[in-house]
Amino acid sequence: MILVSAAQVLFAITAIMLAGFFVLRLIAAGAETGPLTERIGLWWLLGGGWISVMIAVLGTLLKGSTLIIGVLASVGVLAFAGRRRLENSSAGAERITKAELLLLAILTAEALVIGFFASRLALGWDALMTWEWKARLAFLNGGSLPAAYFSDTTYDWSLPRYPLQLSYINAWLYLCLGRVDQAWVRVIGPLHYLAAACIVAGACQRLGGSRLTGLCAAAALFFVPYIFSGTWGMFAGYADLPLGVLFLAAISRIPSLTTESGMAHARLLGILAALLPWMKREGQHFWLIVVLLALVQMWRAKVWRPLPWVAIPGIAMIAAFEGSMAALHALPYRNAVAVSISGLDEKVGRMGFVANRLLVELVDFDAWSLLWPGAIIAIIALLIRCRFAIATTFGGALFLGWTLLAAGYTFGFPSDLEAMISVTIDRIVLQFVPLAVLTMALAVPATLSKNEN
């Protein structure tokens, strides 16, 4: 029985990876998209986005096994459409050194440890009550959520208006298993973590670092304490780490917008950014940060052709989701932050408190070790080395992200501010961890690590 279930889960994961492979092939159109490690991480992210969107669209007409066939048929359409567009990467031609082989062995050992613990740790409360519960209801309805669910006040506690990407990825596993099984759905968080490690390793090399440094950074991600021990970490089943991986993948494309293959990067950036609001409500803020930083990069180079590809997919995703929620008369999000400038003097007075709590969180050694001081030092080092595009993009992403985080706390909560910060600030900070790790890796001079080979 276990072997059969494992085969069914492997089938579901393979379908996601194939969908991502063909989406990337279509987007890249033969252009350089990065080393193989980075592309493997992108296959998971893009495939998860495609499968979840197809369930949302096709699930209105198809149910059960016919929905599975419909989703697989959509992957076949992707394969046919991209049959002559080959992914290209010259990164794999380099000889693998002994140090790199050792790091690959370490990464493999880390993956085995992750797999061991994933099968033994339960999902967190909100994961069960928000994302997994929706996946369960979707499965019982043939694969997608029933229209009546979104306006039924009985289910207000489950946040009907919340983005559905993670829930529908879970539902895809349930469809392929033929049953609801919380034990197997726990693989989703670790797979997003592994995607983060792959993207960190590959993006470091693509952006001018060495392959050795990238692999070191990917291995080092394992040692950020909160990812494993935190309430909202990798094993909890929350959407915060998946959102952070998408943010990492999108931000890392911005410095490449003005290269020879800039249009391919723009298309990929636009799709990755569009998946941010489909993953989590904060994703709309992350999408805005990505677009603003992309605009800065294009303005510096006086290159504007990529702009439509960067902005339009996200606008379409946000409009489609919000429009469908309005059409379904979805219940308002009961935990929404109602940002207001009324009582401005009082709220401005909160800024010091919020800034202090954020600072205390960032220097919490037990949760983050030296990650955040290291990221700030890395940005300074990049500026000293005149790597302005990377420093401004990665530093701007962290600064704008933390600023929006602080603004939400300052202007959004009338009375329970301290309680809300205590409950949520660590999981929101988690969303920036993969980006911080890549920032530190890029601060290491490529010549230094090559000399150490």
Q: Give pLDDT, residue 448.
A: 58
Residues with Cβ within 8 Å of residue 366, at least 6 apart in sequence: 225
- For 339, the token pair is 């940002």
pLDDT average, residue stretch 32-47? 92
- Kindly state the helix (H) or strand (E) to which residue 64 belongs, with its residue range: none
Instruction: With CA atoms as reference, report the closest residue to 28 among 272, 311, 211.
Output: 272
Q: Give pLDDT, residue 94.
A: 65
Q: Give pLDDT, residue 379.
A: 96
Q: Give pLDDT, residue 335.
A: 55
Instruction: With CA atoms as reference, report the closest residue to 435 among 289, 299, 313.
Output: 289
Phi, psi of 33 (to 5 degrees): -115, 0
pLDDT band at 336 (very low <50, low <70, confident <90, very high): low
pLDDT band at 255 (very low <50, low <70, confident <90, very high): very high
Q: Give pLDDT, residue 450.
A: 53
Query: Which tens digit of pLDDT belongs to each residue from 190-239?
Result: 999 999 999 999 999 999 999 999 999 999 999 999 998 888 889 999 99
- For 159, the token pair is 């946040």
pLDDT average, residue stretch 406-418? 72
Q: Give pLDDT, residue 418.
A: 78
Q: Which amino acid is at 170?
A: N
Poorest-pLDDT segment among 89-93, 155-159, 314-318, 341-345: 89-93
Q: How far apart are CA 133 and CA 137, in angstroms?
A: 6
Query: Which tens digit of pLDDT belongs to each residue from 77-131?
Result: 999 987 766 555 444 456 888 898 999 999 999 999 998 888 788 888 888 988 9
Query: Which tens digit of pLDDT belongs to each residue from 357-403?
Result: 889 999 999 999 999 999 999 999 999 998 999 999 999 999 999 98
The alpha carbon dihedral of 174, 143, 192, 199 has a sign of positive
Q: Which amino acid is at 213?
A: T
Neighbours of 261 (CB within 10 A): 17
pLDDT average, residue stretch 7-12? 96
Phi, psi of 401 (to 5 degrees): -60, -45
- Given a cut of 50, whether residue 284 has pLDDT beyond it is yes
How far is Cα of residue 237 from the mean position of the Cα atoms in its chain? 13
All structural domains of the chain with their residue ranges:
2-84+100-333
DSSP 390-412: HHHHHHHHHHHHHHHHHHHHHHH
Q: Give pLDDT, residue 327.
A: 95
Query: Which tens digit of pLDDT belongs to each residue from 170-185?
Result: 999 999 999 999 989 9
How far is Cα of residue 95 from the mean position of the Cα atoms in its chain? 31
Tokens 């205590």 appear where? Answer: 422
Q: At what angle do helices 2-28 and 262-279 cross, to 10 degrees?
A: 140
pTM comes to 0.94
Q: What's the mean pLDDT when you consider all of the chain?
A: 89
Q: Give pLDDT, residue 86.
A: 54
Q: Give pLDDT, residue 345.
A: 61
Instruction: With CA atoms as reference, report the closest residue to 138 among 158, 167, 118.
Output: 167
Q: Which amino acid is at 83?
A: R
Q: Give pLDDT, residue 95.
A: 81
Residues with Cβ within 8 Å of residue 428, at least 6 apart in sequence: 240, 282, 405
- Given a cut of 80, whether residue 334 has pLDDT beyond it is no
pLDDT average, residue stretch 289-304? 94
Poorest-pLDDT segment among 46-50, 252-256, 300-304, 411-415: 411-415
Q: Residue 256 in 3-state DSSP? A: helix
Quote helix, strand, coil % in the chain, to nearest 5: 75, 0, 25
